[in-house]
Structure 1
Amino acid sequence: MQIELSSKQKEFIDKYIKKSAKDIWEEKLINLKGIVLNGEEDNQQIEDKINEWILVDIKVAEENTRPYKCVCGRSLRYQYVIKHRILDITYNLGCECVKKYTGIDSKLVNRVLLKKEELNSMVDEIIRKLNESEIDRQLYLLDYDEIPNMIRQQLLIGLPLTDKQLEKVFKVIGKDNNKKNYHKKVHNVMQELTKEQLEFLNKLNYEDKQPLIISLMDGKKIYNMDELKGVELSNIALRKVELNLPFTDKEIRDIKKGKKTEDIKYIEIASKKLNKSQYEFWCSRMSLNQRKETAKYIVEGTNICDKRLVRGKSLDKNIRKQIQLGIPLTEKQKKSLDI
């Protein structure tokens, strides 16, 4: 479904992007003749300074068609509607006849046409990107103070930037090549995010948004709820888990700290459940990581190996003693015993 442009969006496009052929014609003539305007002239004064010939419009037909006519009778794909300001006569002309009637070089006419087509193409690209929700992938650029004011206004009213505008922005916010490439990488990362992920990211403040963008670029680990059992999470961190987004370095440190606290809690409870022989073996013969893992099993009463399952098997003496004492096995130990 096509998105309908708002009145503000239409006004912005008409004012800053979609110039008329007449406006472009005047700009080219001003540059060509070296005319200086002070910015206070009205349309009539501008026309007086430029030329007696005014370009009213350029009509462009479909490719491989020539539905328009020049006054000379030639069929045209491109028709230039030219008005003589003093005589108040309008002519429909082809490129060559423009030069014949006005004395203005056809190269200028072609430049006007190319510029108009370029601007029309920009409008088409903006509307296409708007329908593809590309604006959601570009809103992070508003965090940079360096972006030009017109670009900022375009983003603020919900209009995405064209590829050419993006290149300009990357150049402004990244003066050296490394930074320029960095912002291109950020742009590429944004293309991979879902609509829900983008909505979440765009609602974050700068301090939370930038670390998340860096984590996305660095491919930081994405946690699931099972891995975070028992760890207290902030609302932002919880939402990241739900949306399959990575944590920042600080959040990862907090998670590890939370897990450590959880491990210590289990170790304290487990140590009280063990008898003297079990406790001595557990503390002296098992590594810290093994104690952390088995502490939870001791509390839960799981992963304890039935002695009958290993009867007759050749076992490491420590594992054999561990089984004899009824101390739970780690997952790695269970796998090595194939039980």
Structure 2
Amino acid sequence: MVLLAKKDIELVINQLNDEQVSFLTNRMKIKKKSRWLQLLANFKGIDIDEKMSDQDIEERLEDWILVDVKDGGYQKRPYKCDCGQTLRFQYVIRKKAEGAIRYLGENCFENYLSLPSSVIKDVKKGMYAIDLERDEILVKFKKNLFFPLHAYMHLSLPQDLIDQYEVGLPLSDNQIALVERINQTYEEEKKLSALFERLSIEQQQFVMKMTKEDRRELLLLVEDGVIESFFQPEDLSECDEFINKQILLNLPLLEKQKQKVKEWQLAKRRTELLHSLTSEQQEFILSYSKEEQAILLDRVQKPLHYSVEDIEDLPVDDQIKRQVMLKLPLLKEQIYQIQKAQNLCGGLTPSTLKL
């Protein structure tokens, strides 16, 4: 969508009543001021969050505040800058501390406030988007395209959106999308509440100890009828008391919990494999890094690549020869080193297995 021509805007606005005109005008000014405050706060490095009001942000800014951005229309320059230049776009700003007001064009606006062109560009982009929303509302009004907001009044909707509907103005596509997101959240919360009621008292008490996001994931798994056949019956209290209790209550595990149990089981198996080796083999493996230890232990019960006879005459590290003598698996880089030595000595031995 592109901005409406000024004459087209005036034609539609003439069809609005005074309350509708006042609402639309004030709403656009509020949105433009809000956009300016956010951009200025970001430029100044001031931390803001979605819970902060425009007044909260303004109180943290000792600076010029944007009052309005006026657009005279395509190929028109009805406004003037304080420097005397005629303008299409006029930026009206007010000094917060002094109350002084300036009427500026784009160049003076940038120079006066010492803002980089990138910030000015973002300001214009934001104002343009707000004007587009205004024009969208006017086009919908002209075409009598009204969203049935009355069917969503049971939701916790923003008050300005309700006010807009009640004065007889249509909602923009972005506003409709917001209503639909709020409704989707409401319907999901209703479904999660019903799923929660299906749990036993003990299960409910357990689930309430979870974070909101974890509780949501678990309840949706309950809806899907997930069965934890992934786990063999075992005591997981050493892994995690909370997870162990969760399984005992016949509740599904979250993905991150499954991963934690898998890692614990793997670490437990590696410890068992290490203890199954001779003390000399254990000492040799423990000389490696933790990551290398894990790789070697995962290969302990697999067929060995080489025998002592295969490598005894090859020019390889003594550590590799000792490792083979101890009948321990090799790391990939060690196998490559042996293969390289074999090639230098005239080829592979018959007992060498391919990777």
- TM-score > 0.5 by shorter chain: no
TM-score bracket for this pair, using the shorter chain length: 0.3 to 0.5
Q: Could you tell me the TM-score, scaled by structure 2's length?
A: 0.37
Q: Could you tell me the TM-score, scaled by structure 1's length?
A: 0.39
Q: Larger % of helix: which?
A: 1
